[in-house]
Amino acid sequence: MTSLLLLAFTSIGWMMGDDPKYGLIATFFGAMLALIGMDPVNGQIRFTGGNVNLFSGLTFIPVVIGMFGFAQVIEIVTNRMEFNFFGGGEKLTIKGSIPTKEEIKGIVPNSVSSGILGCIVGILPGAGATIASFISYMTGKRFSKKGPKFGTGVVEGIACSESANNAAAAGAFAPLLSLGIPGSGTAAVLLGGLMMWGLQPGPQLFEEQGEFCWGLIASMYIGNLLCVIISTLCIPFMTKILKVPAGIMAPIIMTLCVIGAYTANNNMFDVYVMIISGFIGYFLNKNKYPIAPLLLAFVLTPTLEKNLSQLFRVNGGSPSLLVTRPISLVLLIAMVLLIVVPIIMKKMGKGEPTIGS
């Protein structure tokens, strides 16, 4: 697990953004934010500055709301003309909202690949749809011909994140039904609901309650079809939201950000965290630092810390197990290759650097 997470840290930094160094810096910054609070292994307080609100660490929801929501409000206010601050714009119709043949050609391969990747991530316990969406988005951005345009509204980028999000939600049912292990917070709630009805998820569930299991799987197909129909019918209403002037949307978004951050723990301190995260996110966007690696590192760092501590405890303080176990060694080699190969290919493509360079 330690080697896998180290590989993940390296890959998310390299796969996001046009310049890998910006992705790596954002990854390290996210890991630093995750270290604030109480050490999960030794129980020591660190990097809190004596603030009791930080003893339990930074909450993910205010941070992500600030960096994606409040940062966008700051962007809208500082660039009024670019965001159509006073209204207007072209008229939107349901016909114009339907993807064209060219867009469908770009959507299908991204949806299929992101769906497979999202399902795999969803099966991993504790990963969740958020990580699946970020990883699929970054993978699509790196390997797509429209990679630099990801984040500007191209349908390929939306297809990557949304396909992975839906696939991860379905993939979480695999460990839930077969092993009784919830793969996400939603799956944990469903686990409690199943047990209330006298159903014990596990290897025997398919044999003892086969009709229920296959009925549940069939309901996922029906549910997806219903979602497509409902979403299509809602297009005329959703497109009207896009015509609302940014001058009206900005205070609405800001209000929702404040409410969302406060309701995370019913604590005003989370609102302050959201505001500060918003300014940090705005600064990162302005300087071309990707936010996705930062948030992924923020989520993965506590898991890496716990597994790394277990590694040292089991092996008497030595990290030798990382290279003596075959699977771990392969993952570490992949991590090194992920760092070295792009540098070599970049130098080969540019040729030998001159003294002036």
Structure confidence by residue, pLDDT tens digits, 290-312: 887 788 788 888 888 888 888 88
Give the type of residue at 357: S
Give whole-number Cα distances, 242 to 51, 230, 328, 352, in Å.
Answer: 41, 19, 48, 50
d(CA 119, CA 171): 5
Single out the residue of 166, 149, 155, 146 nearest to residue 97, CA to CA. Answer: 155
Residues of the chain with pLDDT under 50: 351-357
Structure confidence by residue, pLDDT tens digits, 49-106: 888 888 888 888 899 899 988 998 888 888 765 555 555 555 556 666 677 788 788 8
Note the pLDDT of residue 212: 84
Burial letters for 18-54: b for 16+ Cβ neighbours within 10 Å, e otherwise? Answer: eebebbbbbbebbbebbebbeeeeeeeeeeeeeeebb
Within 10 angstroms of residue 126's Cβ, the number of other Cβ atoms is 15
d(CA 131, CA 149): 21
Burial letters for 215-228: b for 16+ Cβ neighbours within 10 Å, e otherwise? Answer: eeeeeeeeeeeeee
d(CA 42, CA 40): 6
Note the pLDDT of residue 352: 43
The 3-state DSSP class for residue 221 equals helix
d(CA 27, CA 284): 12
d(CA 290, CA 256): 24
Tell me the angle at which helices 2-15 and 20-34 cross, rounded to the nearest 10 degrees.
130
β-bridge partners, 46? 37
